[in-house]
Structure 1
Amino acid sequence: MLLVLNGPNLNRLGLREPGVYGSQTLEDLERQCDAWGAELGQAVTCRQSNYEGQLIEWIHEAEEHGFTGIVLNPGALTHYSYALRDAISGQRVPVIEVHISNVDAREEFRHRSVTAAVCRGKISGLGFLGYRLGLEALVEGQA
């Protein structure tokens, strides 16, 4: 079982900056992740929260709920949330960090991730495909 977590503002996909994030919605992304999971023989649970503490709780609980890997798009928390970083590093489930846009080609403050160093890998700039690659890496044991 794999967990896909999306952080702040990702519930606004399709509405927020479509030139950066595209026109597809969070619901479209979740349907796609479910389909990719089925192709990989894995159940996928998708969750989104605008609240740092909720994301931390889900990460803390992942292993006890049977999840074997997490694909995480921390949104803006990527750049400053040491609490999220500590939650990732303080548990055993592998985490792949994913970003829809190429954060390194955007504003300078987006160039630094405080969470990437404690993740097994980072995928950026490939749109929704990044989620698929993250799921594949977790299933194939590359994470």
Structure 2
Amino acid sequence: MTVMAPGTPVTPVTRLTVLYDAQCPLCVHVRAWLLRQHQLVPIELVPAGSQEARRRFPGLDHDATLAEITVVGDAGQIYRGTSAWIVCLWALAEHRPRAHWLATPAGAPFARACVLAAAKWREATAPSCADGRCGAPAGHG
């Protein structure tokens, strides 16, 4: 997570948009899992690189969002990679305590290892993911 300087105003996150690769079987599976969870903070899932994502977030590098999970908070907060996974867990009732721990110095190495493992699995199961897009047949997602 982001460390703020003392006295910096904090804008609470009240809604999250997860940009996921709709052509990646792992990403689509995680999307479905997120939708089944009890959310403390509403999560909306939008295909990365889609016209909808480009319309909502014109300043983002949309090619990068296909290669790495990106989450956007309702006040413009941007989370990528490990921080994106942690903020997704933080938004879920059952997983918020785990997210708090993963954001600590003790939990950070575990969080990073999980994200790297997911990236390796994604690469191993869909070799075309090397270019940032998985090789799932069109129409999935």
Highest Rg: 1 or 2? 2
TM-score by shorter chain over 0.5: no
TM-score, structure 2 as length reference: 0.36
Higher relative contact order (CA closer than 8 Å, sequence separation 6+): 2
